[in-house]
Each structure stands twice: as C-alpha cells, then as structure tokens.
Amino acid sequence: MEESSKSSKIYRIIILIIITACISSSITAIAINKVFGDRLFSKVIQVDPAESEIDLPQYLEKIKATLEKEYLGEINEKDLINGAIKGYVDGLGDPYTVYFTKSELEEFETSTEGNYVGIGIYMSVRTSDNSIVVLSPIKGSPAEKAGIKSGDIITKVDGIEYSGSDMDKASNDIKGKEGTKVSIEINRDGKILNFEVERTNIDIAPVESKVLEKDIGYISLPSFDNNCGKEVKEKLKEFEEKKIDKVILDLRDNGGGLVDEALEILELFTNKGDNLLITTNKDKKEKVYKSTKDPETNAKLIVLINENSASASEIVSGTLKDLKRATLVGKNTYGKGVIQTLLEISDGAGLKVTVEEYFTAGRNKINEVGIKPDIEVEDNKKTEKDEQLNKAIEMLKK
C-alpha cells in the first residue's frame, strides 16, 4: 500500500511537471504568433487559463491530442516526459541539481565506484561563467596522453555545445563504449583546440603515496571516491612503520566526491569530539558532525590546495585549518559549499538535489568563498618546478 501511494505521488508530480513545461511552451508559441502572424502559425489552441488551473491532466490531454494529430514526426512519449522533467529541474538554475533517466543514473553511480569507461578527466562547473572546466586529467589516462590539461574549458562534445548547466549530460556523452572515440572541443586561454580521444576503461586509483625525504611522506588524493579513506589510512600506517612523522596531503585539483569519505579522512587526523562539519538545510536546521575516534597519526601536516580544490576537498582542508591541525599551502579554493543527495524514483530514474549548505568546523562559509591558504604560493605552469610542493617540503624541514 505504501509503495502504491509513493508511485501515485510520483505520477502526480510527473504530470504536474509536464503540464508546467507545456504551459510555458504554449505561452511562447502564442507570443511568437502575435509577432509573425500566419507566416509561422495558422492555428491557435484555445485553452481557458482557469481550466488549466482546475484540471491539469485534462490540459495535458489537449496538448497530447494536438501533437498526435498535427506533429509531422514520430512521437516518443517517454522522451517527452524525460525532456519535460529535465527542463523543469534545469529551471532551478542550480548546476548541481540534476534529473537522471534510468540509464544516466546507472552511469552516474558507476562513476563514483572507482571505474568507468571514458577518457579519464575530473570536471566541475565554473559558476562565474557557467562553463565546464577540467579540474585534472587522471594520470596515464587517454585524456592526459592526448594533451588535455587542468583549467581547460570544455565547449563541445562530438560537435554539441555545452555549458555548465549541462555538465552531467556532457559527462555522460564523453563516456561510452570502450574502444570508441569522442571529439572534445577545448577553450584554452581563448584558443580553441580539438581533441579526438579514445574511450577506455578507467580504473581510478585515487590514492598515491611516496617518501619525499627521510621523514616526509606525501599522499596525493585526486578525488573522494569509495574507500579512499581506508586507503589513506593504510598509507599513514606505512609511514608510521618507517618512522615518518611529517606528511603532505595533496588535494590540488581534487573536485570533491563523497562527503562520507571526507569525514572518514578527517577522523584520521583529528581528536575524538572535534567538530568536522556543520550543515544547514532549507529550514535552517543545523547538524554538527563530530569525530568519533582518536587520531591515527599526530604527524605534522601540510595540505596543498589550489583554485580547483572543491567540495569535499574544502571540507577537509577548511576543517583542518580551523582546528589548527594543518597548515594550508597554495591558492584559494574553488568555493563549492553545498551538498547533494541522490533520490531514486521507483521507475529507476533519479534526482541529484542540492539539499544542504556546509560550513567548516569553525562555522566558516565555503560556498562561493572558498578556503584561503595559510601560505599563498603560485604554481608557475611555465616551469617544471612545483613551487607549492617545494614550499611545503621547505616548511617541514625547519
């Protein structure tokens, strides 16, 4: 009974969405008709506004009947429904809130599990100009081998133009069958570049580590994917066995990922009872996440950040800064301080919805502000030197 009630409710919501989209389309059509007269339209569908408010399903039936009678091409009702829902959700103007069809949801969920078929890039939305920016190519990926770089703006995929609002659609179009190729148009500092990249199975190994000096360990984390917290913990244990008591955590070009993994990593460095994250929802209800464990390490810690460190990266770096547990080196971060949740619909589709804004342990705002480093260092892309990493090593040697 409960499942039936849910299905009925979802059906009514979908009907309402479609009607809303149809009303907007009808208004636009009538407005164009007034300007261009019979050159574009020879018929006007008469709809009583009061009727559309009273009986939306009946209004939808009129639109549907008209299309079936007049439309020249074939009608795929499922595509119409998906298009109406996508348009409705896009109308929010939030690039992080997205409607997924069943197949799109499956692809999205696969991409967070650590492997997928694609070209191997991390992307994000640059809200300042609503563009899709490449945060970083995955090491050894087809994208890196082709020459795609951090900071590149993706403008077209297979000839189709995309903006930041279409990032999830662009991401799905970049993925595809292994062995096939995809054409990517890039804007790099005003210069248009084109790349044809072969899709392959991307096995994401999110955590890399090495010993830089006798007592300095380095951990690179390009994304907060499943089990990365466990992997970081293992790397810290390896350092401890080697008597390494200074650690550099590199979160540069890390566009975020799973918040639960960010909290798990924070617990490796913080004291039991410390604030890790503070969130507020649309009703201004606050939730405080605290560390439930003793730290895994007391090593001296420096975190590297840059303008492409976003979301979960900002949770980790901002909280470690507030708790005075780490020194941040690099550039001001991206400024994505909102959390999305995935809501699955009974037919297999889903909604990724922005539901909360989050703040650091010290209640500092992240969204559209970012995290400011303690030591600001510019990485000169024209040199092979890593000025930010070198600064961190220099500081830990003191």
What are the helix (H) ranges across 273-377?
A: 312-322
Residue 38 falls in the annotated catalytic set: no
Burial 208-247 (b: 16+ CB within 10 A, else e): ebeeeeebbbbbbbbbbbeebbebbbebbeebeeeebebb
Residue 189 falls in the annotated catalytic set: no
Question: Is the CB of residue 22 less than 8 Å from the CB of residue 60?
Answer: yes
Q: Are strands 286-290 and 375-376 parallel, antiparallel or unpaired?
A: unpaired
> Annotated catalytic residue: which of 86, 246, 336, 352?
336
Q: What residue has token string 């507020």? A: 280
What is the 8-class DSSP label of residue 365? Answer: B
Please report, for residues 30, 312, 346, the alpha-carbon distance to residue 94 in angstroms, rounded to integers and kept in the order given. 28, 18, 24
DSSP output for 186-224: EEETTEEEEEEEE-EEEE----EEEEEETTEEEEE---B
Q: What residue has token string 């606050």? A: 286
> Annotated catalytic residue: which of 152, 250, 322, 379?
322
**Alpha-carbon span 282 to 278, nearest angstrom:** 14
**Alpha-carbon span 203 to 139, nearest angstrom:** 11
Burial of 47 (0-12, 13-18, 19+ CB in 10 A): middle
> Annotated catalytic residue: which of 141, 171, 311, 317?
311
DSSP output for 17-28: HHHHHHHHHHHH
Residue 336 falls in the annotated catalytic set: yes
* Residues carrying an active site annotation: 311, 322, 336
